[in-house]
Amino acid sequence: MATASRIYLGLVLVFLYAPIAVMAVMSFNDSQFYALPIKWSLRWYADLAGNQRLIDAGMNSILVAVITTVIAGVLGTAAAIAFFRYTFRGKRLLQGLLFPPIAIPWLITGTAMLLFFFWTGIGRGLHAMVLGHVALALPYVIIVVGARLQAFDPDLEAAARSLGANPWQVVRYVTLPFLAPGVIAAALFAFAVSFDQFVISYFLAVPGVSTLPVEIYTSIRKGFTPEINAISTIVIVASMTLLVGVSRFYRFGGDR
Amino acid sequence: MASVSVRSVSKLFGSFRALDDVSIEFDDGGFYGLLGPSGSGKTTLLRLIAGFEYPDAGAITIGGESVERRPAEKRDVGMMFQSYALFPNMNVFANVAFGLTVRGVPSGEIRTRVGEALELVKLAGLEKRRTHELSGGQRQRVALARAIVIRPRVLLLDEPLSALDKALRTGMQIELKRIQREIGITTIFVTHDQEEALTLSDRIGVLRDGRLIQEGAPRDIYERPRTAFAATFLGDANLFEGTVEGDAIRLDDGPPVRTDDPLPAGGTRVTIAVRPERMTVSAGSPAAGGARNEIGARVDEAIFAGNSLTYMLTHGARSVRVFAQNTGAEPVAAGAPVRVSWNPADTIVVDA
Amino acid sequence: MAAGTAALGGAARTRSSARAIAVLTGPAYLWLTVTVLLPLMAMLYFSFLTEAPIAGRVGELTLEQYRTFVERGFYTTLILRSLKLGVTVAFLCFLIGFPCAYILAKTVKGRWREALFLLVIIPFWSNALVRVFSWTMVLRGNGLLERAIDWVVPGAGSLGLMFTYTAVVIGLVHSYLPYMILTCYISLQAIDDDLIEAARSLGAGRLTILRRLILPLALPGIVAGAVLIFVPVIGSFMEPRILGGRQGTFIGTIIEDQFTAVFNWPLGAALSFILLACVLVIFALFAPILKRAA
């Protein structure tokens, strides 16, 4: 690789990671005014431990993400299998319908959900967030599991049948083991989509019941404090770790 | 072991007629080749016998039982796939054992039978290997062991050797034949490779456009193909058109030639096929009245191929190919007029 | 073949596969209907009401909300401002991202490529809010950037970047740059290296190859990236709020206000729909190229 290319890639990576690094470093700075040189301290993390609002929000985030993962994982995998196995009228339309939740700005989907849920009496709160998060995660699950299925040789199922496996055994011993990495990737992905989701959660939160991103946003609007750096650092580290996990099972860039 | 019988079977995919009224009997213990170009319906016929598809019309019986609506998993039919379809999440042992596991065979017996099957295909000792660590030939043997370990009534092979290179293929042909004879199972295989079909099969069915156009022993089909297609698809053939004149056929661009085949009434248009290796090329112009059929031609090219020689000739407006043994004699030079002759017994009257 | 023929089999099998398709896809699509399609329809309905029909109030059908939008230049100005923001961010992402994607796809090899690609793409899927927030640490007065500049050029004075349009652009480019790199990378990767070598053997220079071969072939990826960046950017409200301060008023923040502060839901719904209309027009315009990218 030419030196110029290396430098360029390096600069892009600096641009992408430097702000996050600065935030993380500052979260360990004892000074409330981000004074330099840094006096290292875990003070802000200790403060977090005493912040019940943030802890509650964190638990909510995990709860919503887990439920979203299970529901989106099951529904999405089922739909992906149907798309893979069957050719039917309206298939393209159904596949096209996966696009809006991804492509329409979340602001529009979020406000529409708020208005519809409020109007119909579904209301706001964690259950409403699960409704919304599953809708956002479903397309990704279908895409990720679908990508894995693309590599599936239908002859494997035929072979299992000719060897005497009944339909249930075919799924249990052949299809699911093959799909497993895709389903795991999709589940981690769904978890990440929900865990990091801010916009939808923001519109569907009720005062006192919110998730970490919503709580962080509220704190930012009130004014920057090093405590936000600390919780944000935790959130971004968790989020990136999850995604590295996804990448072990799913190639973001398609075939390589 | 069982015989398979296919009677008047048709299969449609949408409006595409993949099989059209096909009837064929596969005797118990025989080795059958289904030969045809792609799209001829040969794989569809195999999948119907396996139970992956159901026929739209007609009957299929295995060992006398009617099975055309029975799902694949209840047919006791072993199948080897073109892609081998080895389960990537299982090692060699688990792949071969799969059919026994799902049948609930006790694990001790599974171990013995898998061992025997791997022994038969000469893969003993590779039980723990992952399938992706195997060579092409080894994968093929695993697929075969997996198909026969369940002691199926019929063994189906879909293009069994097409994924192997030529050197391996010849070895595997002999191997397949040995294993089939050893276990004596009715075997039906699909191929588009005529040489493979001729080498392996006891009987061959030739398919084209969803129809069975000829069925019989390899030698019979080769010696007496019924259609021009069968003649050219199975081996090489020179085709000529002509009109029946008494007990001979007057070629459109040449002299009358004789045949041992029964001829239709005088004046009928017929097509004849002559195998290139049954023709001889000799220098000089034809002299009428000999015991052999003779036509005149001009040598375009003589292609040397070691033990044999291929003459590319022109007779009238058509090209004729002749295979000659390399006897050590000097080939006839290009441009020279020659006589091409053959025995009347080698004139095959075919449907166009 | 198996997949293709399942639906073409006999009548009995068609019926059973129809049931299987319904069972497998039904729940997912029912969910999407309740959470996306019906809400969007409800929003369309609300946008034609005088007031939100909640808490016992009754809204009457009216075009008032849309009239407000047309008559008050304020909203049109804001839409244009948001569209300009979208174009700016998408274009900057292309300028920065395309070379990066090219280097990744064509010069980096093997495991390095995989690792670097992952490094570039991971931030995109990670927490957007936190990433935007992290810029406040860099951009604010006496923040990292100003200190760095001061260190190089003592006494350079304050940049005053925080709470400006520029700050919003920087934050959004940071947010969406990986997307452009991803889409460009995918289409660049599909270009056979032999094509480039063939062009070189025919005497084409680097620039010619870029202009005549690589850019046209990578166009679907570039357009896909630009559209997929443009659309969320024109609907952004969190980024302008955090980085733009008082300079951060866009159509997105105004819509948010209608729902969370002013509580004029019908107006918010109407504005949302006008924004959605913009999005749909963009998609319709670029549909042919987007299809090629997919």
In angstroms, the CA B156 to CA B150 distance is 13
Three-state secondary-structure class, residue B154: strand
Q: CB neighbours (10 Å) of residue A121?
A: 7
Report yes or no on B231 lying in a domain.
no
pLDDT for the residue numbered A255: 41
Residues C187 and C91 in one domain: yes
Specify if C56 maps to a domain.
no
Same domain? For C187 and C85 the reply is yes
Query: Are residues A134 and C42, on separate chains, in Cβ contact within 8 Å?
Result: no
Are residues C109 and C36 part of one domain? no
C252 touches chain A (CB under 8 A): yes
Q: Does A158 touch chain C (CB under 8 A)?
A: yes
Strand partners, B323: B310
* CATH of A56-250 given 1.10.3720.10, 3.90.110.10, 3.90.245.10, 1.10.10.10: 1.10.3720.10
- Report the chain A residue with the minimal C-alpha distance to residue B150: A163
CB pair distance less than 8 Å for A1 and C52? no
Say whether B53 and C8 touch across the interface (CB within 8 A).
Answer: no
Q: Which of A9, A15, A115, A133 has the most C C-beta neighbours within 10 Å, making it the best mutation to test the interface with C?
A: A115
Q: Taking CA atoms, what residue in C is nearest to A206?
A: C260
Residues C105 and C207 in one domain: yes
**B253, part of any domain:** yes
pLDDT digit string, tens, across residues A186-202 = 888 888 888 888 889 99
Q: Does B99 touch chain A (CB under 8 A)?
A: yes
- Which has the higher per-residue pLDDT, B226 or C287? B226
* Residue at B230 is within a domain: no
DSSP designation for C245 = G
**Domain containing C3: what range?**
1-46
Q: How many domains does chain C have?
A: 2
Output the pLDDT for position C6. Answer: 36
Q: Residues near C173 by Cβ (< 8 Å), separated by ≥ 6? A: C89, C92, C93, C96
Contacts of B77 in chain A (CB under 8 A): 162
d(CA C86, CA C279): 11
Please tell me the total count of domains within chain B. 2
Are B76 and A166 within 8 A, CB to CB?
no
What is the CATH number for C128? 1.10.3720.10
Residue B184 sits in the same domain as residue B221: yes
Strands (E) across chain C are located at none
CA torsion through residues A12, A17, A21, A23, sign: positive
**B279 reaches A (C-beta below 8 A):** no
In this prediction, residue A256 carries a pLDDT of 36
Residues C219 and C280 in one domain: yes
B254 and B193 in a common domain: no
Residue C54 lies in a domain: no
- Looking at every residue in chain B, the average pLDDT score rounds to 88
Interface touch A138/C53, C-beta < 8 Å: no
Q: What is the pLDDT of residue B316?
A: 81
- Structure-block tokens of residue C168: 């919003």
* Tens of pLDDT, residues B49-90: 998 889 999 999 998 899 988 888 888 899 998 888 888 888
> Are A252 and C182 within 8 A, CB to CB?
yes
Looking at residue C293, its pLDDT comes to 66
State which residues form the domain around B201.
Answer: 4-225
Domain map of chain A by residue range? 56-250
Q: Give the 3-state secondary structure of residue C263.
A: coil
User: Phi, psi at residue B136, to the nearest 5°?
Assistant: -55, -45
pLDDT over threshold 80, residue C85: yes
Residue C135 shares a structural domain with residue C272: yes
Same structural domain for residues C70 and C42? no
Give a yes or no: residue C59 inside a domain. Answer: no
Cβ contacts from A onto B, under 8 A: 74
Whether C291 contacts A131, CB under 8 Å: no
User: Is the Cβ pair B85, A163 closer than 8 Å?
Assistant: no
CB contact under 8 A, C31 and A134: yes
Mean pLDDT value across chain C: 81
Query: Does residue A169 belong to the interface with chain B, where contact is any CB pair within 8 Å?
Result: yes
Q: Are C167 and C244 in contact (CB under 8 A)?
A: yes
Please judge whether A229 and C137 are an interchain contact, meaning their C-beta atoms are less than 8 angstroms apart.
Answer: yes
Query: Which residues, numbered 137 to 166 in chain C, qualify as contacts with chain A under a Cβ-Cβ cut-off of 8 Å?
Result: 137-138, 140, 143-144, 147
DSSP B17: E
Q: What is the CATH number of the domain that holds B255?
A: 2.40.50.140
- pLDDT for C256-281, tens place per residue? 888 888 888 888 888 998 889 888 88
pTM of the model: 0.76
Q: Do A162 and B50 touch (CB under 8 A)?
A: yes
What pLDDT does C66 receive? 80
CA–CA gap between residue C169 and residue C159 (Å, rounded): 15
- Whether the predicted pLDDT of C119 surpasses 60: yes
Please answer yes or no on whether A164 and B88 come within 8 Å at the CB atom. no
Beta-carbon separation of C2 and A252 below 8 A: no
Question: Which among B77, B82, B83 has the least Cβ separation from residue A162?
Answer: B77
Residues B126 and B268 in one domain: no
Please indicate, yes or no, whether residues B93 and B189 belong to a single structural domain of this protein. yes
Average pLDDT for B318-343: 86
> pLDDT confidence of A225, banded at 50, 70, 90?
confident
pLDDT score for C2: 37
Residue A198 touches chain C, beta carbons under 8 Å: yes
Pair C3, C148 in one domain: no
* Whether B217 and B258 share a structural domain: no
CA distance A251 to chain B (A): 19
Q: Is the domain of C23 the same as that of C163?
A: no
Per-residue pLDDT for C97 more than 80? yes
Which pLDDT does position B287 carry in this prediction?
65
Which residues in chain A are closer than 8 Å to C181, comparing Cβ atoms? 12
Do residues B20 and B154 both lie within one domain?
yes
Whether B55 maps to a domain, the answer reads: yes
Let me know how long chain C is: 294
Q: How far apart are CA C272 and CA C43, in angstroms?
A: 8
C-facing residues of B in 28-57 (CB < 8 A) are 52-54, 56
CA of B155: which chain A residue's CA is closest? A162
Residue A49: which pLDDT band, with cuts at 50, 70 and 90? confident
Q: What's the whole-number mean pLDDT along residues B14-37?
A: 91
Q: Check if B14 contacts C (Cβ < 8 Å).
A: yes
C52, part of any domain = no
Give the closest residue to C177 by CA, choosing from A17, B100, A241. A17
Residue C289 clears pLDDT 50, i.e. is over it: yes
Q: Is a pLDDT exceeding 90 seen at residue C173?
A: yes
Are C7 and C148 within one domain? no
ipTM > 0.95, yes or no: no
* C111 burial level (CB within 10 Å; 0-12, 13-18, 19+): exposed
Is C287 found in the same domain as C176?
A: yes
Q: Please, are residues C48 and C63 in contact by the beta-carbon 8 Å criterion?
A: yes
**Is pLDDT at B334 greater than 90 in this prediction?**
no
Percentage of the residues of chain A whose pLDDT score is greater than 90: 15
Q: Is residue C60 part of a domain?
A: no
Instruction: Please check whether residues C129 and C262 belong to one and the same domain.
Output: yes
Query: In chain B, which residue ranges form alpha helices assigned H by DSSP?
Result: 42-50, 92-102, 107-120, 136-148, 166-183, 194-200, 218-223, 228-233
